Amino acid sequence: MKMRTLGLSDLRVSLVGLGCNNFGRLDIEASRKVVDRALDLGITLLDTADVYGDRGGSEAQLGEILGSRRKQIVLATKFGMLMDDEGTKKGASRRYIMEAVEASLRRLKTDWIDLYQLHQPDPETPLEETLGALNDLVQAGKVRHTGCSNLSAAQVAQAAEISRRNQWPAFVSSQDEYSLLVRGIEGELIPELERQHMGLLPYFPLASGLLTGKYKRSERAPAGTRMATIKRLADRYMTDENWTMVDKLAAFCAARGHSMLELAFSWLASRPCLSSIIAGATRPEQVEQNVHAVNWKLSSEELAEVDAITGNV
């Protein structure tokens, strides 16, 4: 497994990480098999969130599964999304962060979190308040490093300036949707991440499965798959424009003896400031496929051809 440094931190993370958003919906033994195979294959970054698994289920399963292996991994989680029906447990205020981190530590059965990430912007809380609270958690040893997710380039720049001004630890990473079919962060966010020397952690690297090759334009989505069961995902990704790109990318891969999965992962691995690709799995075999998919060394000519296919230069 190839390893990379996460931004300016001292965290070394595997090029392919394990997204744990399926845990809590899977039974614990199924989750255990996925984690065991991931660790066997050299994956060191496990990424979850307090909200995953029906509010706490993913963290709770990881706490049960990891045991003594906790020290072998970089454990990342997130806070900020709604955690109750009343609408009080959410956001990025100092009060809520202090409550949320303790709850995550209990569920994860750990004394520290390696990477604690703001899951989404909180328009009701000044960013300085959020960063001040996170600084206190770092100083207390409960959090090693902090990161963000789904922030704009302007918000990332603002956070970096606030941290510099107050001499607080800055965000070391940003987790955002990024794939061959969703490249919007290239315009402003990725250049800002490069300016701040932050690591990029892309999620949905397979565009919710459209880049796996298992869906066909002229066929109904296989029963039980995401596209078959979640209409909003099908409506979002299964557009004529995306199908045209997928068909061309499939032909590109076939001509070179590679799979769409290999292209999706290896292309991401070539991107600026990429630290680790967050890839979910529900079965050990999927973990194996993800790990092996990142070894295609794309030439500059091939990268240019992919850009032409996906409409980006």
* CATH number for the domain that contains residue 179: 3.20.20.100
At residue 232, the pLDDT reads 83
Residue 221 in domain: no
Largest CA distance in the chain: 56
At residue 219, the pLDDT reads 75
Residue 271 in domain: yes
Residues of the chain with pLDDT under 50: 313
Residue 231 in domain: no
At residue 312, the pLDDT reads 67
> What's the structural domain count of the chain?
1
Catalytic residue check, 52: yes
| d(C-alpha 283, C-alpha 304), whole Å | 34
Contact yes or no for 131/162 (Cβ under 8 A): yes
Residue 227 in domain: no
Residue 245 in domain: no
At residue 3, the pLDDT reads 97
Residue 60 in domain: yes
Q: Is residue 6 helix, strand or coil? A: coil
Residue 149 in domain: yes
Contact yes or no for 55/29 (Cβ under 8 A): no
Q: Which of 52, 203, 215, 237 is catalytic?
A: 52
Residue 196 in domain: yes
Domain of residue 192, residue span: 3-207+260-298
Contact yes or no for 35/65 (Cβ under 8 A): yes
Dihedral Cα 200, 90, 52, 213, nearest 10 deg:
-50
| d(C-alpha 202, C-alpha 275), whole Å | 9
